[in-house]
A and B are shown apart, each in its own frame.
Chain A
Amino acid sequence: MKMKYMLMMNSPREGAGGILHWPKEDIQAHIRFMVGFAKKLRETGELLVAEGLAFPDQAKRVRAGADGKPITDGIFPESKEFLAGYWIVEVDSPERAYDIAAEASAAPGRGGAPLNMAIEVRQVMSGPPPDMM
């Protein structure tokens, strides 16, 4: 039975804009890795969706005001972690989802060293659990 997981990539410790200050070679290595990673998962048929998100200073926090109209604030309040992008994969076991997350986590960073960034893995809910059916 296939299960879906959302793999959420948080920005590395140096912050979302950190990559802006990496050397060219490191940026290129990182992009190469990410492109190859997505391609590989697409080939195994495990990748459903992968998206990178725009930098956090483009983000707006929205909630409805008293009149139901959206209220947006300018920039997010300070926070150590931002969602940088996500993958949704369909795999045979949670272990496989963790393996994929670990591979993504080890994407090369500054100087080619693995970033080891935190990847949050959460199962996507779809229908009732098997034992309730």
Chain B
Amino acid sequence: MTESSDRRIEHLLREHAPRVLGAILRKFRDFGASEDAVQEALLAAALQWPRDGVPDDPRAWLIQVASRRITDHVRAEAARRHREELVVSLVPPELQLVLPRDGDELAGRDDALVLLFMCCHPALTTASAIALTLRAVGGLTTAEIAKAFLVPESTMAQRISRAKQSIQGSGVPFQKPTPEETAQRLGAVLHVLYLIFSEGYTASSGPELHRTDLSGEAIRLTRMLHTLLPEDGEAAGLLALMLLTDARRAARTGPEGELVPLDVQDRSLWNAAMIEEGVALISATLSKGSLGTYQVQAAIAAVHDEAARAEDTDWPQILALYGVLMGLSDNPVVALNHAIATAMVHGPEAGLELLKALDAEGRLEESHRLDAVRAHLFERAGRHAEAVAHYRKAAERTTSLPERNYLLTQAARLNDTR
């Protein structure tokens, strides 16, 4: 069996995992048992399909195998407790053999959505929600998730099992969320997907390969969410933001894994197809009204991506968009980026003035970012001694190795030419 066909099967399994789990969960109610059964079915498929070929209806196959596993488990459990009769009443015999086809495409779609909302349940910690989403909706194995987050597999297994217990304990029924519930909890779902993407995109440590998989997975899940909720502007905005950011991946790091900042990236390495898709998506979304932070961030990313050369960047437009973003979100990092955009439009001294205001608030005191930006603006203003001092201060404070290497090199470059 060729590698590409293995990859195709893997892709197929990930596509089907959430809907299969949704269908099983709807029938058997028990989150933990359903999830285990689906994992077993996925594993069986991964072993059998490459050998015997992919069945005509992969989802029906998976649902049937998972159902059989779960009834087997229930039966084994019951046998131990001598409660055969109960099993018979719990699981009708016809259900043990063939499940009614999930022919209703809409039901399948709703199942995936319900599952996504369950996994991003407010009762869960963010870390648990991320792990559970990747496993239940993304169909990743515990080992894969553990590897991506650089924690031992046992730790991740515990995190996932605790998350499942919390959901079971919360008594949230498996059903389509009401429009109010959707609105309330969509924020958490988007946030979890955004964090999965960031984890993959930052690649601050560890073997990069797994991290790359993670941002690809985040894009896939967000694409799914956007398909399920095509009218939601923020879901579309987040997908656009991911596409427009990920499009720059190849240009973001140099041969030794060092960071390459946006303004000196080789733009011929950017992924034109992703940029085109992201720009089309955000343009269509922005024209619909109701603005959210992901949409504005996507719009900013689009302005960057549409410039053929760094010096062609439409900074006045970016500055205006950061102004909008400041109105929507009280985030000091947004204020920091606003200061950078201001410097690009009105000169570095104007940017440095805004940083003073941030100093006064003290909210970024602990962050090396303020120093890094200050260093950059001092450099642009020709105040090299101050720039070197702040590059060094930022280098001392960052906990990201590629970033530290970048900042050290900046300080040294400027110091050498002084």
Residues of A within 8 A of B (CB): 17, 19-24, 26-28, 31-32, 35, 51-52, 54-55, 57-58
Query: Chain B binding site: helix, strand, loop or mixed by DSSP?
Result: helix
Given contacts A31-B258, A55-B396, contact A22 B412 (CB under 8 A): yes
- By a CB distance below 8 angstroms, the chain B residues around A17 are 392, 396
Residues of B within 8 A of A (CB): 205, 256-258, 392, 395-399, 401, 405, 408-409, 411-413, 415-416
Sample of 21 A–B contacts (CB below 8 Å): A17-B392, A17-B396, A19-B408, A20-B392, A22-B408, A22-B412, A23-B412, A23-B415, A23-B416, A24-B413, A24-B415, A27-B405, A27-B408, A27-B409, A31-B409, A35-B256, A35-B257, A54-B398, A55-B396, A55-B397, A58-B399
Sample of 19 more A-B contacts, CB < 8 Å, known A21-B415, A24-B409, A31-B258? A17-B392, A17-B396, A20-B395, A20-B408, A20-B411, A22-B408, A23-B412, A23-B416, A24-B412, A24-B415, A26-B412, A27-B409, A27-B412, A28-B409, A35-B257, A55-B395, A57-B396, A58-B397, A58-B399
- By a CB distance below 8 angstroms, the chain A residues around B416 are 23-24
- By a CB distance below 8 angstroms, the chain B residues around A26 are 412
Give A20 to B401 CA distance when docked, in angstroms.
14
- By a CB distance below 8 angstroms, the chain A residues around B256 are 31-32, 35
Give A67 to B396 CA distance when docked, in angstroms.
33
Give A51 to B205 CA distance when docked, in angstroms.
9
Give A54 to B257 CA distance when docked, in angstroms.
18
Given contacts A57-B396, A58-B396, contact A52 B401 (CB under 8 A): yes
Give A27 to B415 CA distance when docked, in angstroms.
12
| Nearest chain A CB to B116 CB, angstrom units | 35
- By a CB distance below 8 angstroms, the chain A residues around B415 are 21, 23-24
- By a CB distance below 8 angstroms, the chain A residues around B396 are 17, 20, 55, 57-58
Give A1 to B313 CA distance when docked, in angstroms.
60
Give A26 to B411 CA distance when docked, in angstroms.
12
Give A32 to B258 CA distance when docked, in angstroms.
10
The chain B residue with its CB closest to the CB of A51 is: B205
Give A52 to B258 CA distance when docked, in angstroms.
15
Give A32 to B257 CA distance when docked, in angstroms.
10
Asked if B399 contacts A54 (CB within 8 A), the reply is yes
| Nearest chain A CB to B73 CB, angstrom units | 36
The chain A residue with its CB closest to the CB of B207 is: A42
